[in-house]
Amino acid sequence: MTDSTAPDDHASQRTASQQPASPGPDEETLALAHTLFDAARNGDTELLRSYLNAGAPATMTNYAGDSLLMLAAYHGHAETVQLILHHGGDANAANDRGQTPLAGAVFKGYADVARALIDAGADPDAGSPSARDAARMFARDDILELLG
């Protein structure tokens, strides 16, 4: 995992060959999705809480398969991670590149986020690279200890 393959939330349009046959979301829906992805990425826990409490899906993903949880984890927001997990976020959901939220947190060195994900059942051997492999690659010995 490198910053060039980092999870993002810029919902650029897919090419025509990648578009589903049915019409895509309207502008209002896209704006709301951007708001939620931005809240996860920026650690705006209270804004995200209000939408999740109102029924927004904690498992929603962007065009790259990055979930709200992936974005919050990759950007080091432990409180936001815990909120998303509480609302049903999947600690083991990989994005389209096979990266898990735990591997993202390990790559960036966020031990508090890694702990929250591990406590929620995140598999340190899931994904590619796995969180365990990322901890070894980037000498995150403190997190490697958390992984067991």
Q: What is the CATH number of the domain that holds 107?
A: 1.25.40.20
pLDDT at 14 over 60: no
Q: Give the C-alpha separation, 78 to 55, whole Å.
A: 21
Provide the pLDDT for residue 2: 46
The two three-digit tokens of residue 71, written as one number: 């974005």
- Report the domain count for the chain: 1
Residue 42: per-residue pLDDT: 98
Domain that holds residue 68: 26-147
**pTM of structure:** 0.83
Tell me: pLDDT of 95 over 90: yes
Considering the domain boundaries, does residue 80 fall inside one? Answer: yes
pLDDT of residue 80: 98
Residue 5 lies in a domain: no
Q: Which two tokens stand for residue 38?
A: 């931005």
CB 89 within 8 A of CB 69: yes
Q: Is residue 83 part of a domain?
A: yes
